[in-house]
Structure 1
Amino acid sequence: MLIRKLYDEELYKAVDLLIECWNDDYRGVVLTNTIDREEKLKYLTSWINEKYDDIRRIYGAFDGEKFAGFVGASIAEREDSDDGVELSYLFVKREYRRRGLGIKLIKSIVDEFKVYGFRELIVYNWHEVSSNKYYLYLGGKVKKQVVQSPKGKDTLVDVFVWNLADIIKTLNDMLYARDVQHGGLHVKKKLDESIIITTDCSNDDYDCVCKGLFKHNVMKTEGVLRKPGIDINLYLKTSDEETIGAILCDTFNYCMYIDVMWINEKYRGKGYGRILITEAERMAREYGCIFAHTCTFSYQSPWFYKRCGYEVFSILDDYPDGIKQYFLKKRF
């Protein structure tokens, strides 16, 4: 199941599903057969594309070429939450229900909004429809009730609220508790009389795998992997200790790998990035590294690395929306 951004030319799929669910799932609660397809499509296109002081997203779920459902969210109204995101749309085709798709759709969008610093999730939902049980199942609390009048019929609406971190944890736990056949991530399969493949694990299991791989690499390289074996982590900070940037590097096989390179937008274009990378390279050379390498996306900073003397040795261009990943190296 692929969950991705819905393009303008695909929004009709969302509208058709919305109308289908409105006339089926909401029958007896709201007036059915009252949504004009073209008007709704025009509204949804405007809702996602017009420039507001807002963040608006619509993601669709695809089972191969078949459209299975969609989710939409935006910043919540101040009257509902000072730092909340509102789940504006969640519709799943009937044949894909009870397969974890709703969980995946909600997770796909709340994960993104959490990065922006939002702390609550708000959902408006008709009190008498069956999906209310779903939001209660997800741990939602009814913050208040309001009356809305879609197409002239007064209808009671429950306003649900979640702590965003809590709902994300709940969604993750649900996915790992549900087996793969039912849309989850849990696997436990017997391969033969003595071996199983499973997602069940502990911290000790994780450490066992990492230590085993590391030991193998060190032995197979006769210790070269460990050279020089230091982390080079340099931070940019203001005089009052605010972190505004960093370069975080691993060293192995006499190479410095730039894992993270970031500078706060307010401080870009001032030469700090070049200073960071130059200092990291100097430290790496002193410890015996003979080259550096990294990767970066086309929307990040391939041009920056090129200006610092790095050359592109490979490009991965299979990402959607024309995004490319550049792999770069520099010999010291």
Structure 2
Amino acid sequence: MNITIDSSPQDRDINVIYQGLSSYHATSFPNAQEQNLACYLRDEQGNIVGGVTGSLLYTSFYIKFLWLPETLRGLGYGRQLMTALEKTIMKQGVTHIFVDTFSNQAPNFYLKLDYIETGRLPHFPMYDVDRIYFSKAL
């Protein structure tokens, strides 16, 4: 056996690790079916101008991305997206929602929506910026 470092790993090589971990998790989480879900903000022409995406697993939902252009921030669209998402996932049996953000981005947005801070990685990804984890019981 030997250890190698690859600064440009191929997808097929990463997939070996992913598949191994997935097989291992299958014993603890039987029948796990991760379901992707997206909630979009569209303009009058139907073009996506922002939105929130994530994945549902059992009774949890993890927000992967939430984005609005600068021109649409502070106008209530973020709250509307989150409200629509929460209503939808609650109908699917979700009881908890999770998200992470950076201290220089949107922590106050989530706090205003009744999310609670559950963890923090100081100085990640750089000095004076923290990665903050939030959750909310629905």
Residue from 117, 131, 135 that aligns with 1:325: 131
TM-superposed deviation, 1:253: 3.8
1:1-40 residue pairs with structure 2 within 5 A? none
Residue from 50, 56, 79 that aligns with 1:251: 56
1:45-84 residue pairs with structure 2 within 5 A? none
Indicate conservation of the 8 Å contact 1:317/1:325, yes or no: yes
TM-score computed with the length of structure 1 as normaliser: 0.38
Name stretches of at least 5 consecutive residues in structure 1 with no aligned partner: 1-189
SS of alignment partner, residue 105 of structure 2:
coil
Partners of 2:51 and 2:72 lie apart in 1 by: 12
Partners of 1:203 and 1:260 lie apart in 2 by: 22
TM-superposed deviation, 1:306: 0.9
TM-superposed deviation, 1:321: 4.4
Match of 1:284 in 2: 89
Partners of 2:56 and 2:38 lie apart in 1 by: 11
Give percent identity, aligned residues only.
Answer: 23
Indicate conservation of the 8 Å contact 1:232/1:283, yes or no: no
1:182-197 residue pairs with structure 2 within 5 A? 191=2, 197=4
Aligned pair count? 136
TM-superposed deviation, 1:202: 4.4
Name stretches of at least 5 consecutive residues in structure 2 with no aligned partner: none
CA deviation string 1:115-151 (max 9, x = no partner): xxxxxxxxxxxxxxxxxxxxxxxxxxxxxxxxxxxxx
| Cα RMSD after superposing both structures | 2.1
Partners of 1:265 and 1:297 lie apart in 2 by: 17
Runs of 4+ deviating beyond 4 Å:
none
Distance 1:269 1:253, change over 3 A: same
TM-superposed deviation, 1:291: 0.2
Partners of 1:215 and 1:280 lie apart in 2 by: 30
Residue from 309, 313, 327 that aligns with 2:118: 313
Partners of 2:41 and 2:29 lie apart in 1 by: 35
Match of 2:104 in 1: 299
1:275 paired to 2:80: yes
TM-score computed with the length of structure 2 as normaliser: 0.84
